[in-house]
Amino acid sequence: MERSEEIRRVVERWLAGGDAASRTSRVSEHPGLVLIGSDPNEWWQGPEAHLVFEHRQGGEAVGSLKSVEIDAWEEGSCGWAAAKAEVEFGGVTHETRVTCVLHLERGDWKVVQGHFSLPQTNQSLGLDAVSTFEELVEAARSEQPDFSASLSRDGTVTIVFTDIVDSTVLLSRLGDAAWVEVIRRHNEIIDEVTTAHGGTVVETQGDGSMLAFPSARGAVACSQAIQHAIERAFADFSPPIRIRIGIHTGDAIQEAEHFFGTTVHYAARVAAQAVGGEVLVSSLVRELVAGGASNVAFLEGREVNLKGLEGSHRVYALAPS
C-alpha cells in the first residue's frame, strides 16, 4: 500500500468538473458502481448511478467543487481517496467531504464508489432537492381544505403521502414528453384508487400527493392497491417507476394550523423514510390495523429519526402481498 499521486490528480480533476462527457468518463460502467449522497434516499447503484453522474452536467447542479486537500492511496488495481473540498451554493462557500474507491480499468483509474457528504442546504447530490412533501404540507396549510368527509367518528384522520422515487433521474432518462405522460397516468391512478377506497385527494404537487382517509385500515388498503396499480401500469418501463408511501393517523384538531403542524407533518416525515415500492406506517397506524381479522402483515419495525421531531420513532413497512 502506497500513496498515489496519480489517483490524487484523477480525483482532483474529477471534482473540478468540466463537461459532462469528461466527468462521466472517469466513472466506471461496472454494475457494482455505487453513488451515495448525504440524504438517506441518495443511494444509487449500477446504471442508475451512472445516470446520476450524467445528469450532474459537469457539477453545475451542485455548484463548483474545489479540492482543498486530497489523500490518495493505491495497491495493485485498487485505489481510494478522501478529499476535503469547498462547494459553492448561492454565492456562499461551504466545506464538504468526498470519499471514493477506484479501480484500474484498461490502464485508467475509474471511480467505482463515490460518497459525497454535502452541507445542509436546499440542494441534494446534483439533483433538485426532494421538497415534494414540504410543498404538499405548505399547500394544505395555505388552502385549508375541508377534511370533514375524511374524519372518523372519533374525530381522527389518516394522512397518506406518496411520491415517485428518483423522479429527476427518470425525467432525464425519459425526456419531457414521456415524463408528462407518466405524471398524467400516475395522477389518474392515485385519484381512481383513492376514490375507490373512500379517501380524498387533498393536494397534488408534481409527482407527489397528499391523501386523507376516515380510517387507518382504508388508508393502508388504498396504499397497497396504489402500489400494485402503479406496478402494473408501468411494468414495461426501464428504469422502473416506483413510488414511496408514508401513513400516519392523528387527531383532527379544529384549529387548522395545529392540525397541519402535527398529524400532517408526522405523516410527511414517515413518507420521507420510505424507499421505492414501500408502504411505511407509523407505530400508531400499525396498532390500529394489525391483528384481529385483518390480513394485513407488517415487517419488523425499524427505529428512525424524523426531521423536526425529537427522539427516535418506530416505523413499520407493509409486508409484500
**What are the domain boundaries of the chain?**
2-117, 132-317
Sheet with 2-3: list strands edge to edge: 2-3, 65-75, 78-89, 92-105, 108-117, 34-36, 43-45
Residue with cell 372518523: 152
Tell me, what amino acid is at 77?
S
Residue with cell 475509474: 110
Which of 231, 150, 234 has its CA nearest to residue 194? 150
Q: What is the pLDDT of residue 126?
A: 40
Cα–Cα distance list, 167 to 126, 171, 279 (Å): 13, 6, 18
For the question of whether the overall pTM of this predicted structure is more than 0.85, the answer is no
Per-residue tens of pLDDT for the chain, all 321 residues: 899 999 998 888 887 765 556 667 788 888 889 888 766 667 777 776 776 666 543 334 444 567 678 999 999 999 999 998 876 654 556 678 889 999 999 889 999 998 887 654 434 444 443 457 877 887 777 777 777 777 777 778 899 999 998 787 787 778 878 888 999 999 999 999 999 999 999 888 888 999 999 999 999 999 999 999 999 999 988 778 999 999 999 876 444 444 455 788 899 999 988 988 999 999 999 999 986 556 788 998 999 888 778 888 999 999 987
3-class DSSP state of 39? coil
**Which helix (DSSP H) or strand (DSSP E) does residue 218 occupy?**
helix 216-233
CATH domain 2-117 topology: Nuclear Transport Factor 2; Chain: A, (3.10.450)
Cα separation of the two ends of the chain: 49
Sheet with 208-213: list strands edge to edge: 200-205, 208-213, 156-164, 243-251, 279-282, 312-317, 302-305
> What is the CATH code for 132-317?
3.30.70.1230
In sequence order, what are the beta bridge partners of 96?
Answer: 85
Tell me, what amino acid is at 68?
V
